[in-house]
């Protein structure tokens, strides 16, 4: 079933309809736990929406599949009630109209730009980049980054889920354990995530600039996203991808 997950998670989660009246439920209310379990079951059983259209302005697309443990995007938003084990405690990025989880284009651009700023040696060691930048590589790379992210007409569009592997759920639960004090047991916190095995379509509008052709940009951006990931908690494995071409369109 393709529910509007964003609406369910951000607006409808704490409301209960008894057939006549729409109730706002709170912890301690007799409806709260039952309502929450039912709503989360709808979220976790939701499927990828079919109504997300192709972007007519894109020139290049890359299909990347999430790896275990999954993907976290937009988790800084407040969500959930304190001391409620069955509630999740993280926000998430959902596209407003379809309610689907998505990666904002600004996040895609930021992740790629940070690689140019912080990982120049890694970029210059890539085989196809060594052929592009032979002498004064760092200076050329810096000039290229300025051209791509400040002066060019390149556009980084939002990335959306387009396919799930058999048996894989779009949205899943997970737990993180924050060690607040060294000698106290950590308290597991329930969170929501995009599960592994979900393929996202990353769309770009790319043009040739200087030494770097549009196809080279696509190859470079793909490699950065695979090697360094995107989203929150990439240092613990979230946000990692693998390239896939097995897409049923």
More confident residue, 160 or 189: 160
Phi-psi region of 225 (alpha: psi -120 to 50; beta: other; left: phi over 0): alpha
Highest mean pLDDT among 48-52, 113-117, 146-150, 228-232: 228-232
Two structure tokens written together for 43: 């979220």
More confident residue, 205 or 19: 205
Q: Per-residue pLDDT tens for 106-116?
A: 999 999 999 99
List residues bridging with 62 in a β-sheet: 202
**What is the mean predicted confidence (pLDDT) over 63-89?**
88
Query: In the structure, what pLDDT confidence band is assigned to residue 85 with cuts at 50, 70 and 90?
Result: confident
Q: Per-residue pLDDT tens for 133-171?
A: 767 777 878 888 888 898 778 999 999 999 999 999 999
pLDDT (0 to 100) of residue 182 = 79
Residue 30 has pLDDT above 80, yes or no: no
Domain ranges, ordered by start, for the chain: 53-243
Q: Which residues lie closer than 8 Å to 222 by C-beta, 6 or more apart?
A: 62, 64, 243
Burial of 38 (0-12, 13-18, 19+ CB in 10 A): exposed
Two structure tokens written together for 59: 């020139």
**What is the mean predicted confidence (pLDDT) over 236-249?**
86
**What is the mean predicted confidence (pLDDT) over 85-112?**
93
Query: In the structure, what pLDDT confidence band is assigned to residue 26 with cuts at 50, 70 and 90?
Result: low
Q: Which residue has tokens 């924050």?
A: 178
Percent of the chain with pLDDT over 70: 88
pLDDT (0 to 100) of residue 170 = 97
pLDDT (0 to 100) of residue 29 = 65
* Cβ pair 104, 157 in contact under 8 A: no
Q: Which residues lie closer than 8 Å to 56 by C-beta, 6 or more apart?
A: none
Half-sphere exposure of 149 (CA within 13 A, CB side): 20
More confident residue, 206 or 83: 206
pLDDT (0 to 100) of residue 4 = 92
Longest Cα separation, the chain: 74
More confident residue, 172 or 119: 172
Query: In the structure, what pLDDT confidence band is assigned to residue 56 with cuts at 50, 70 and 90?
Result: very high
pLDDT (0 to 100) of residue 231 = 96
Angle at 33 between CA 28 and CA 36, to 5 degrees: 125
Highest mean pLDDT among 50-54, 78-82, 128-132, 228-232: 228-232
Q: Cα separation of 69 and 82, whole Å? A: 25
Q: Give the mean pLDDT of the chain.
A: 87
Residue 25 has pLDDT above 70, yes or no: no
pLDDT (0 to 100) of residue 80 = 80
DSSP one-letter code for 195: P
Q: Cα separation of 168 and 41, whole Å? A: 15
Q: Cα separation of 164 and 17, whole Å? A: 31
* Cβ pair 130, 30 in contact under 8 A: no
């Amino acid at each position: 079933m393709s529910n509007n997950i964003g609406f369910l998670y951000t607006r409808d989660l704490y409301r209960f309809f008894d057939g006549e009246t729409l109730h706002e439920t709170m912890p301690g209310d007799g409806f709260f736990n039952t309502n929450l379990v039912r709503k989360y079951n709808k979220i976790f059983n939701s499927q990828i929406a079919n109504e997300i259209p192709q972007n007519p302005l894109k020139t290049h697309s890359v299909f990347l599949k999430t790896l275990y443990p999954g993907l976290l995007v937009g988790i800084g938003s407040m969500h959930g009630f304190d001391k409620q084990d069955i509630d999740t405690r993280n926000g998430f990025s959902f596209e407003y109209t379809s309610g689907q989880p998505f990666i904002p284009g600004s996040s895609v651009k930021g992740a790629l730009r940070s690689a140019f700023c912080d990982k120049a040696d890694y970029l210059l060691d890539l085989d196809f980049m060594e052929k592009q930048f032979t002498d004064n590589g760092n200076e050329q790379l810096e000039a290229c980054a300025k051209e791509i992210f400040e002066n060019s007409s390149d556009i980084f569009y939002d990335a959306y889920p387009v396919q799930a592997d058999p048996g894989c759920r779009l949205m899943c639960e997970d737990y993180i354990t924050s060690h607040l004090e060294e000698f106290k047991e950590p308290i597991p916190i329930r969170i929501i995530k995009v599960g592994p095995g979900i393929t996202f379509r990353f769309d770009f509008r790319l043009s040739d600039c200087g030494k770097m052709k549009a196809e080279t940009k696509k190859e470079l951006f793909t490699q950065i996203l695979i090697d360094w990931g995107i989203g929150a908690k990439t240092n613990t494995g979230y946000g990692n991808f693998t390239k896939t071409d097995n897409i049923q369109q």
